[in-house]
């Protein structure tokens, strides 16, 4: 994964993860099985879904701490600040999935409960649950199937991965709905629920002309309020958030087509080539032309 620190030297915001393996593919899903003793405070613009296999420790999400132990499942939404650390003498063994939010919002499932899970409702939902006894064994088998499928090269692999991912999410939701479950209050700031429909809208319409003013009219919120919430809750300016989505699309076009770079800029939602060029260099550390040549050599 690549790291980027927003806000310059001494910024109040933690490290920002903005890429992971497979992020620029048709199926932006990545999974690993790894041991940890500690992971410093960070945030990212993709979903992280994890399952603890062994070990004990603590995780802090937006400043609120909870236990990590075998059977703990955490669903971390984009831009939430989190860190975790194993207990003294312990090592955390975890399955961790990283994937783009649109994997869950592009199908009919979004109307069947996924939308509520991601963007909130009047009922708070925990960011984590813990499976015990028989539920833990079922969860372990499910996550192992997901990992084996991810590591395989079988036909229709993305279809099976998405099906298994939805099954693990279903288990997460049902585990949190149990009367004796280990639920806590929603880890997101209460004001964040106002911003999530906007986040989803921008994810769906980032190739179109978007401004704080147009979003203000769409969602009946003052532009200054939208700007303030992006900064205080996600640690990122709205325009940077928008540019990062567009540059990700740009990279896909540069890799998969021979489209002239000027056309790529406009196809990615930018109305100004200088703005596009500056945004691309800030994110990738090179020009679009150099990026295309580098990716061509690597491929």
Q: What is the DSSP string of 212-256?
A: HHHHHHHHT--HHHHHHHHHHHHSS-HHHHHHHHHHHHHHHHHHH
- Provide φ and ψ at 272, rounded to 5°: -130, 125
| CATH classification of the domain holding 261 | 1.10.10.60
**Are 112 and 198 found together in one domain?**
no
CA 109 vs CA 106, 118, 196, 284: distances in Å: 8, 12, 18, 34
Nearest to 249 by CA among 298, 206, 287: 206
Could you count the other beta carbons within 10 Å of the beta carbon of residue 219?
A: 14
Integer Cα distance of 221 and 59 in angstroms = 33
Asked if residue 185 belongs to a domain, the reply is: no
**Are 123 and 46 found together in one domain?**
yes
Asked if residue 186 belongs to a domain, the reply is: no
Asked if residue 269 belongs to a domain, the reply is: yes
Burial of 10 (0-12, 13-18, 19+ CB in 10 A): exposed
What's residue 148's pLDDT? 98
What is the number of structural domains in the chain? 2
**Are 89 and 150 found together in one domain?**
yes
What's residue 110's pLDDT? 64
Range of the domain at 101: 2-177
**Are 172 and 207 found together in one domain?**
no
Q: Which residues lie below 8 Å from residue 94, measured CB to CB, with a gap of 6+?
A: 33, 34, 35, 36, 50, 51, 52, 53
Asked if residue 183 belongs to a domain, the reply is: no
**Are 115 and 222 found together in one domain?**
no
**Are 198 and 132 found together in one domain?**
no
**Are 169 and 272 found together in one domain?**
no
Q: Does position 50 have pLDDT exceeding 60, yes or no?
A: yes
Using one digit for the tens of pLDDT, what is the confidence trace for 240-277? 889 988 998 898 889 888 999 999 999 999 999 999 99
**Are 65 and 137 found together in one domain?**
yes
**Are 19 and 100 found together in one domain?**
yes
Asked if residue 130 belongs to a domain, the reply is: yes
Averaged pLDDT, 116-126: 57
**Are 283 and 200 found together in one domain?**
yes
Integer Cα distance of 56 and 69 in angstroms = 4
pTM of this structure: 0.68
| CATH classification of the domain holding 64 | 2.60.120.280
Q: Does position 210 have pLDDT exceeding 50, yes or no?
A: yes
Q: Which of 58-67, 153-162, 212-221, 266-275 has the lowest mean pLDDT?
A: 58-67
Out of 144, 177, 210, pick the residue that ends a domain. 177
**Are 122 and 241 found together in one domain?**
no
Integer Cα distance of 114 and 257 in angstroms = 33
Q: Does position 40 have pLDDT exceeding 80, yes or no?
A: yes
**Are 164 and 27 found together in one domain?**
yes
Q: Does position 100 have pLDDT exceeding 90, yes or no?
A: no
């Amino acid at each position: 994964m690549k790291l980027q620190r927003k806000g310059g030297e001494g910024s109040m915001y933690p490290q920002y993860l903005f890429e992971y393996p497979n992020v620029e593919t048709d199926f932006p899903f990545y999974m690993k099985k790894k041991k940890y003793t500690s992971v410093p405070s960070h945030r990212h613009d993709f979903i992280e879904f994890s399952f603890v296999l062994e070990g004990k420790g603590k995780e802090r999400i937006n400043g609120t701490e909870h236990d990590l132990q075998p059977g703990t499942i955490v669903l971390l939404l984009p831009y939430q600040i989190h860190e975790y650390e194993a207990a003294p003498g312990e090592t955390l063994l975890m399955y961790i999935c990283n994937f783009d939010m649109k994997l869950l919002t592009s199908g009919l499932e979004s109307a069947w409960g996924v939308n509520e899970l991601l963007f909130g409702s009047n009922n708070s939902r925990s960011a984590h649950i813990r499976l015990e006894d028989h539920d833990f064994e079922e969860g372990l088998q499910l996550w192992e199937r997901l990992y084996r499928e991810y590591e395989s090269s079988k036909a229709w692999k993305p279809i099976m991965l998405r099906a298994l991912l939805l099954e693990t999410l279903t288990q997460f939701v049902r585990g949190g709905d149990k009367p004796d479950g280990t639920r806590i209050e929603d880890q997101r700031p209460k004001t964040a629920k106002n911003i999530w429909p906007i986040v989803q809208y921008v994810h769906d319409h980032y190739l179109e002309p978007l401004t704080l003013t147009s979003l203000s009219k769409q969602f009946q919120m003052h532009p200054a309020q939208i700007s303030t919430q992006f900064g205080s809750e996600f640690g990122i300016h709205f325009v940077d958030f928008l540019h990062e989505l567009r540059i990700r699309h740009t990279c896909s076009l540069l890799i998969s087509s021979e489209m002239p770079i000027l056309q790529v800029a406009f196809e990615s939602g930018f109305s100004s080539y200088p703005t596009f060029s500056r945004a691309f260099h800030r994110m990738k550390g090179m020009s679009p032309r150099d990026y295309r040549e580098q990716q061509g050599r690597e491929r």
